[in-house]
Amino acid sequence: MKKLLIVDDEKEICEFLKAFFEERNFEVYTANSGVSAIKYIQELTPQLVLLDIHMPGMDGINALKWIKEKYPKVKVIMVTALETREKIEEAMRLGADNYITKPLSLEYLEKDVQEKIAQLT
C-alpha cells in the first residue's frame, strides 16, 4: 500500500487530507511538527511527504533538509499558505519534488501525488 505522511501544524488540514487520501487507498499518517514528522519517517519510511513550510519549532525547510539527507528517495511536496519566492526556491534547491499553495486544489494535489508515487515504481 502507498504510504503518505501529511505534516501540517493545522490539525484540521491533516485530518481532511488524511480522509481524502485514505479514500484513494493510501495508508496515511499525520504529524503536526517537523520533529514528529522525523519520528514517523524513521519508523514508517513513507514514499511521499506533504510538508508544510511554516510551522513552529522545526519548520518545513529544516525537516526537508533532514529528510533528503537521510532518505533521499522519499518524495516531498512542500505546502505553503504564503508563496514566498525565497522559501520555495530554497526548498526546490534542497530537493523538494514540488510545491503547492493553500488553499489547496484537491484535483491538482491528487494528480501530483499520484505522479510522484508512480515515479517510485
Which domains, from first to last, does the chain contain?
Answer: 2-120 (3.40.50.2300)
Number of H helices, E strands in the chain: 5, 5
- Residue-by-residue pLDDT tens, the chain, 121 positions: 899 999 999 999 999 999 999 999 999 999 999 999 999 999 999 999 999 999 999 999 999 999 999 999 999 999 988 767 888 899 999 999 999 988 899 999 999 999 999 998 7
Whether the full predicted model's pTM is greater than 0.85, yes or no, is yes
State the CB neighbour count (10 A cutoff) for residue 68. Answer: 16
The Cα 32–Cα 44 span in angstroms is: 16
